[in-house]
Chains A and B, each alone.
Chain A
Amino acid sequence: MSAKQTIAIIGATGNMGAAIARSLSKGKNRLLLFSHNQDKSQQLAHDIKNSHTSADVESIECKVNASWEADIIILAVPYGAEKEIAAQIRDVANQKIVISIANPLNETYKKMVTPTDTSAAEELQKLLPNSKVVKAFNTIFAADFANPVIDGKQVDSFIAGNDAEAVDTVTELVKTAGFNAIVAGELPASRTLEHMMLLLIQLTMKHNYNWLAGWKILHN
């Protein structure tokens, strides 16, 4: 037996948030879903419980309480929304793992809005100096969570972070979600990971991959 870890998903009813919630509900996790649209987060919790009866998931009214209860916090919100949320949850996220999934793309998906010497994850770490920020799930499309094997190959999912124990914990979550977990390095490796998604989005639009695509490292 082991005690469940509580995961707060902020922005749980967006495409990415909902996909992450569905896939992590399969593991030994307790999920707290926060969304500005509470009807939607309640509906999502209900749907998840209908599809796995053993799932431990509920909608929660307040993101601060969600983060206070949580062991792990996933910010499934656009890069632009992170600053305000970070200020709200900063105290209750002290020493906790905070997963950054955001890619700081501009509106036309042509380039990054962050300077070249930083990344969304590093900016979040500056806003939450006493939290353990880990980059994960940012190179994954929402549809990949339901199909983590594409064309017979398991999609790679990259992780970056400075705290070894936090990186291990997040690696287990990535595996629970069904992906091949690869630790890319410390948090600045997020710069590369975020640019990988910029390229994947551009290629997806150009070649019409139908938003079901992923990265795979080939090796012997």
Chain B
Amino acid sequence: MYDLFFRKFNERVALTSEEEMLIKQLLTPKKLRKKQYLLQEGDTGKSICFVEKGALRAYVLDEKGNEYITAFAFEGYTIGDLYSFMNAAPATLNIDALEDCELVLLSKSAHEELLQKLPKYETYIRLLLTDAYIMLQRRMTNMISLPIEERYIAFSEMYPTIFQRVPQHMIASFMGLSPETLSRVRTRISNKK
């Protein structure tokens, strides 16, 4: 239920078995079926979500109801509306399952308790947030500065298995392209190979 969660944790910060027990007591295991929501816009994001199995996406809606995908999460990823979680404010993101999922949730109270009791947890969270920030920085600089083909290549390096698991129109949405443009880019690149 928590195998990958602790594997990833131990890769960054090694835990003793007592420390694992302390964390385990505060985790919420949760199954989510395909198409079900973890969070909807306007809810308060009460937890951070680690993906043990499955895939999710986060998206925002514009006034006309068009979706813009802001993130994907696969095994080993963490996803959530950080703004909502930190400020107990209404979420701006919608997060739903693209596949049946097994998740590990960390509630706000569990998060705060662990920050107080376990310095290793604070270290781990700092590393996670740094990773997330770097991802965001790369995504933003790629988005504004790279030609479309290079953006596509950078994206497929960031998410090597995504094309087997996520429909193309969602990938296009995440990259800020129309599905037709994405399809043309993919054809051009495969012709070059």
**Interface positions of A (Cβ within 8 A of B):** 1-4, 65, 68-69, 71, 91-92, 94-96, 130, 165
- Interface check B130, CB cutoff 8 A: no
Q: Are B29's CB and A92's CB within 8 A? A: yes
B42's contact among A2, A91, A96, by CB below 8 Å, is which? A2
- Interface check B138, CB cutoff 8 A: no
Q: Are A3's CB and B29's CB within 8 A? A: no
> By DSSP majority rule, is chain A's interface helix, strand, loop, or mixed?
loop
> By DSSP majority rule, is chain B's interface helix, strand, loop, or mixed?
mixed
Q: With A3-B43, A65-B31 in contact, is A95–B38 under 8 Å at CB?
A: no
Q: How many A-B residue pairs have CB under 8 A?
A: 41
In the complex formed, the residue of B with least CB distance to A165 is B109
Interface residues on B, range: 20 to 34
**28 chain-A/chain-B pairs, Cβ below 8 angstroms:** A1-B40, A1-B41, A1-B42, A2-B40, A2-B42, A3-B37, A3-B38, A3-B39, A3-B40, A3-B43, A4-B37, A65-B31, A68-B29, A68-B31, A69-B32, A69-B33, A71-B30, A91-B1, A91-B29, A92-B1, A94-B25, A94-B29, A95-B26, A95-B27, A95-B28, A95-B105, A96-B28, A130-B25
In the complex formed, the residue of A with least CB distance to B105 is A95
- Interface check B70, CB cutoff 8 A: no
**A96-B46 Cα distance, complex, nearest whole Å:** 13
A91 cross-chain contacts in B, Cβ below 8 A: 1, 29
**A54-B10 Cα distance, complex, nearest whole Å:** 45
Smallest beta-carbon distance A189→chain B, Å: 22
B40 cross-chain contacts in A, Cβ below 8 A: 1-3
B94-117 at interface with A (beta carbon < 8 Å): 105, 107, 109-110
| Per-residue interface assignment for chain B, residues 31 to 57, with 1 indicating a CB less than 8 Å from any chain A CB and 0 otherwise | 111000111111100000000000000
B41 cross-chain contacts in A, Cβ below 8 A: 1
B37 cross-chain contacts in A, Cβ below 8 A: 3-4
**A94-B33 Cα distance, complex, nearest whole Å:** 19
**A94-B2 Cα distance, complex, nearest whole Å:** 12
6 nearest A-B pairs in the assembled complex, by CB-CB distance: A95-B28, A3-B37, A69-B31, A1-B40, A3-B40, A2-B43
Give the interface centre of B27, B30, B38, B107 by most chain A CB atoms within 10 Å: B30
In the complex formed, the residue of A with least CB distance to B42 is A1
Smallest beta-carbon distance B141→chain A, Å: 33
B30 cross-chain contacts in A, Cβ below 8 A: 68-69, 71
A69 cross-chain contacts in B, Cβ below 8 A: 30-33
**A100-B89 Cα distance, complex, nearest whole Å:** 31
**A95-B47 Cα distance, complex, nearest whole Å:** 12
In the complex formed, the residue of B with least CB distance to A130 is B25
**A68-B32 Cα distance, complex, nearest whole Å:** 9
B31 cross-chain contacts in A, Cβ below 8 A: 65, 68-69
